[in-house]
């Protein structure tokens, strides 16, 4: 266990950030899954912009790597275009 007051605070703040990152990452993964299941092209195009925005935010905050975000956006865009 930590001995310093600042170390205890760091433990608390790290846990809060971990939970927030976990929530955002899981929400984005669910949105990706739902987008892949959509059969209607117009509905998929509307959902695509929201998912791309979510991926960009995750990459900006270093929750996921920027190249992973780019790869996912590319694959999703191809998927929606093929509908």
- On whether the CB atoms of residues 38 and 47 are closer than 8 A, the answer is yes
- What token pair was written down for 74? 């590319």
Contacts 24+ apart (CB under 8 A), 19-22: 21/61, 21/63
Q: Locate the domains of the chain by residue range.
A: 40-83
pLDDT in the model for residue 83: 87
The model's pTM is 0.82
C-alpha dihedral (14, 19, 23, 26), degrees to nearest 10? 90
- What token pair was written down for 67? 């190249």
- On whether the CB atoms of residues 29 and 63 are closer than 8 A, the answer is no
Q: Which residues of the chain have pLDDT under 70?
A: none
């Amino acid at each position: 266990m930590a001995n310093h007051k600042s170390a205890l605070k760091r433990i608390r703040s790290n846990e809060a950030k971990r939970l927030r990152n976990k929530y955002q990452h899981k929400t984005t993964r669910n949105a990706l899954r739902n987008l892949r299941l959509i059969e209607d092209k117009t509905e998929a195009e509307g959902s695509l912009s929201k998912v791309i925005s979510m991926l960009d935010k995750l990459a900006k905050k270093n929750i996921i790597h920027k190249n992973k975000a780019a790869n996912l956006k590319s694959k999703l865009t191809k998927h929606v275009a093929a509908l």
